[in-house]
Amino acid sequence: MARGQRTNLADLVASVGDKSPVDKGQPPRDDVPGHTVPLSDLTANPRNPRDDVGDLADLASIADIQLQPALVVSRAAYLHLYPDDDITSRYVVVNGCRRLAAAHKYGRNDLAIVVNDAVARDRVTMISASIAENVDRQNFDVIEEARAVEALVLECGRADAAAARLHKTGAWVSQRRALLHLAPELQTALRRGELAIRDARQLARVPLAEQVARWQASQDRPNGMGDESTYNKRPPSRSRVISAAIADFDSKPEQLANALRTYLGPDGVHRLRDLLGQAST
């Protein structure tokens, strides 16, 4: 697998299969303190807030040395919280899922761990520990982060309790949760780095049907979305947005297409396409 490629841990283990040097009788390592176990004893937390483990190139050195042990809980402790999950290994990795993935990828046969079942004393503690490893990391997907924060709020029952768990302000928690109210197109743009978090928070306040058109319109302004006072003004009506897109159709046809997709929805777009096809025959 090429360096720099984002990697899903389950796919990685499956693709390595019998060709892996893991658990082939290699001697245990003693390069980090702690309890060392074979990789077959470890399962990545199925409820890790990360959808994938990202680019593992920065952990290639784990083939020779592990700088920090992984935090794990026993299978029994994990299943006490999530009895419906399919766990067959001895331990579940709570902090260190990327180290586990890198060990599989780069041919390490074991991993040093610290077992702490107190982390699994309740779901709130377990989720908090999982999030703590990822929050504020530059390579942590912001939508994954928002989903993780939302999950913690649901478990805690209150946003302020979740904020206290994460040692964050209530405003930070509120801002992250707001990102989940973005249109799918804008969530994708945010993940790609095409949309700034500050602008995404502003767009999340706009009715869902108008968000994409508002963002498209902002791309044509020198200052982007503008400041809060400008943003809080009443958004343009649908007819105004579409009229402006029609006026600019010759130079920016994609703007009209985006506006129509936003306001008409998939069914409306199909109907319009059929009608236009009939008119041309």
From 99, 120, 3, select the one nearest 50 (Cα to Cα): 99
Q: Is 149 domain-assigned? A: no
Helix (H, G, I), strand (E, B) or coil at 132: helix
Q: Which residue has the higher pLDDT, 24 or 146?
A: 146
pLDDT at 74 over 90: yes
In terms of residues, how long is the chain?
281
Instruction: Using the 3D structure, point to which of 97, 119, 141 is the last residue of a domain.
Output: 119
pLDDT tens digits, one per residue of 6-19 = 555 555 555 544 44
Structural domain of 65: 9-119
Does the model's pTM come out above 0.75?
A: no
Q: How many domains does the chain have?
A: 2
Long-range contacts of 257-260 (CB under 8 A, 24+ apart): 258/212, 258/213, 258/216, 259/212, 259/213, 259/216
Give me the mean pLDDT over the 246-260 stretch: 74
User: Rounded to 5 degrees, what are φ and ψ at 164?
Assistant: -65, -40
Q: Residues 77-120: pLDDT tens digits?
A: 999 999 999 999 999 999 888 899 999 999 999 999 999 999 99
In a domain, 164, yes or no: no
Backbone angles phi, psi at 73, to 5 degrees: -125, 155
**Of 42-46, 92-96, 249-253, 273-277, where does mean pLDDT reach its minimum?**
249-253
Distance CA 130, CA 133 (A): 6
Q: How confident is the model over 122-175, as pLDDT tens digits?
A: 999 998 888 876 665 555 678 888 888 898 999 899 999 999 988 889 988 998
Q: What is the mean pLDDT of the chain?
A: 78
CA-CA distance, 109 to 63, in Å (whole number)?
A: 9
| 4 belongs to a structural domain | no
Contact 107, 22 (CB under 8 A): yes
Domain end among 69, 89, 119: 119
In this structure, is residue 262 part of a structural domain? yes
Tokens at residue 88, please?
């067959």
